[in-house]
Chain A
């Protein structure tokens, strides 16, 4: 059943979601929120892939989405472990505390 939704609409949605994700990353200072926003961006990308896949009736879009999923999973797990460590060391989740890597 081919839905009558036009591709730009979906692309537009993905774009907006992506922008929201970026805004989230930039605005928030708490690392967790930044991680969340990254998740949003990942989903937006996934949406775009799937939309393109369905547009050309190719499975590639969905395969890419699956890869994105696996990547997201791995990334979140490592990210959260790091967050735990940071919390233990710095007792706060403020991103500006982590300034040691200065040039």
Chain B
């Protein structure tokens, strides 16, 4: 039942904020803060008693489930379920939700009620996406999450907000429609195979589809998620949306909306179409690597601060694709770590960019410089965040990127080598960001005051979580483990039919024989 409470609270809070917004300006933000923190507390308490209850190798992955018929005629039911992956992403949603409300405390002046309504409904949409187990419901939340974000960018954005809002909307909507086609496709195929027409995820899992239709359906799903998780050819909406969105908007955009794409692939594309995913794996990994390098090079040349950070998240998301299509436990754990740590580190960078915009009224990096002297605290946090984004060990991002690369190394050696070179480019743009904004001679004439108490709390919570994830990520890995094992079993028995059968003892220990053989012949090829 907790699942419906979570979404209900958010939606109700949004409406309340909207209604009370008319009367006085400051009430909506307190309502928003209240609703999101209640949700967060509820979730964390659920997670704590779950982690006591569940032992590490629990086979039963689903922690909570709630099902209620919505349109029985078409087999559509209000079906929510929670497993390790969704729990992690939900906690992340509520955590970033609180930060979003906090960081837009005095940034938004006009129509505050409607602003917080949008904010809360985006969060409701996103948490809905993470726990919906009915494909129709999933698509419903996919749209619910999209429209308020369009308003957020369109109304409270900066100069080119209409262009950015349109672009964002058209990109996501068009790909979403393709996904709807795929959903209907699988709905009808399942219906014709088994007679009962239902959108229920668990029943759709087993449908047997001919390989080429499976390929096209998989592509339908993939296009929606690949646009959301910006993979290179479809990424051009991200920089515009980010640079024009208000701080809270870009925080949620970077922190959560990108994750819905990755979550979608993990939840729907891999389990529903394993063979099709396997066949397209090497192409997807190649696109991922291109994304890493292309995003990094572009980030280096930007002059608008938020665009620069946006391109860095394009580059980081390239790692996610590389990890997903490596199909082994190491890479998948790395992907989930990357989702969490990227959300926090890029979210923090965006809050930082928002603060700089509040102080200097510009996002142009060329006009900033030498801010360290006036704002040592902000400089210190920015340095740490830049180090997180370039993957300094001891911070969360390193764990994620190392696991992804380690996992992907087994799947495809040369692509991983190329991806590791991406790390060099990430160093170049992160240091370039710090050099442009904080170091160098002082360019800004007026004096700028450092962090206020609200900002300190904001930043401290983010930094502590990055460092905690960097030094002790085990809780996150344990929560995601059952789901990952189930996913990996799906792909391990896929690969048993190829020629060198890996040895019998369980998948726990690495197959020496197969990896050395495959690895040495790749080397001989060179």
Touch between A and B in complex, CB under 8 Å?
no
Chain A residues engaging chain B, CB cutoff 8 angstroms:
none
Q: Which residues of B contact A (CB under 8 A)?
A: none
